[in-house]
Amino acid sequence: MLAIFKKELWNFFGNWSAWIIIAGFSIISALFLFFFENDFNIFDIGSATLQSFFVLSPWLFMFIIPAISMRTLAEEEQSGTLFWLFSQPVKITDIVGGKFLSVWLVGILCLLPSLIYYYTVCVLGVPEGNIDGSMTFGSYAGLIILIASFSAVGILASSLSSNQITAYLLGVFICFISYFGIEQLASYKLLGGADYILQNIGFYQHFLAFTRGQIDTKDVFYFLFVIFLGLGLASWFVCKKK
């Protein structure tokens, strides 16, 4: 798994794709948070908080993570190197796990420049440093585990298709449905008491708890279940191609 992980990281950073993605995420989020006139603009909100960033980020990662993960297995199958990997002394779970970790790490690295936003809000706060640290920490923890869930979904989508564009579109679709679609469907109150169950199937409510500064074990276990389910299904689909 470590060898696969290192190989994928080299591919991401060796051809500048990871650097472009990290820079793109940082620039887009900075424009929305500080320059564009919109509901996410921190100056327009007038509060010393990064909640706008944590509302915006899942939508950006919904498109970014599938773009990173789409080539992980789809490209291997398309180029024929996936069958070469099958002949090597490496488990399929190691192949999938190594690729997942590399995608997850690139996603986490996208968050590093946002520490500048945290510093900026701290300095601009009245009084200086007037920012809810526990809520910010919880939101970052939620984003990290949400990125892991999106990464698992992206790896699953890449295992389902040998075409990278198809894998990307499928990954975006599943991430969108999991994060926003299920929540919106539950908000229509069409199923009575079952709407609460439907809400808890989606990502949104579990991520929302993190943004309130609440790190609940049930939310952590929910995301861990999603991650292992996604990677388990990806391993199964890859195994079928062996």
Identify whether the C-beta of residue 11 lies closer than 8 Å to the C-beta of residue 69.
Answer: no
Query: Given this model, what pLDDT does residue 129 score?
Result: 67
pLDDT digits (tens, 9 = 90+) for 127-186: 776 777 788 899 999 999 999 999 999 999 999 988 999 999 999 999 999 999 988 888
Q: Where are the domains of the chain?
A: 1-241
Query: Given this model, what pLDDT does residue 89 score?
Result: 84
Query: Given this model, what pLDDT does residue 199 score?
Result: 81
- Rounded distance, CA 134 to CA 139, Å? 8
Can you list the residues of the chain whose pLDDT is less than 70? 129, 191-193
Counting Cβ atoms within 10 Å, is residue 217 exposed (0-12), middle (13-18) or buried (19+)? exposed
In three-state form (DSSP H/G/I as H, E/B as E, the rest C), the secondary structure along the chain is CHHHHHHHHHHHHHCCHHHHHHHHHHHHHHHHHHHCCCCCCHHHHCCCCCHHHHHHHHHHHHHHHHHHHHHHHHHHHHHCHHHHHHCCCCCHHHHHHHHHHHHHHHHHHCCHHHHHHHHHHHHHCCCCCCCCHHHHHHHHHHHHHHHHHHHHHHHHHHHHCCCHHHHHHHHHHHHHHHHHHHHHHHHCCCCCCHHHHHHHHCHHHHHHHHHCCCCCHHHHHHHHHHHHHHHHHHHHHHHHCC
- Rounded distance, CA 205 to CA 223, Å? 11
Query: Given this model, what pLDDT does residue 170 score?
Result: 96
Work out the percent of the chain whose per-residue pLDDT is above 70.
Answer: 98
pTM equals 0.93
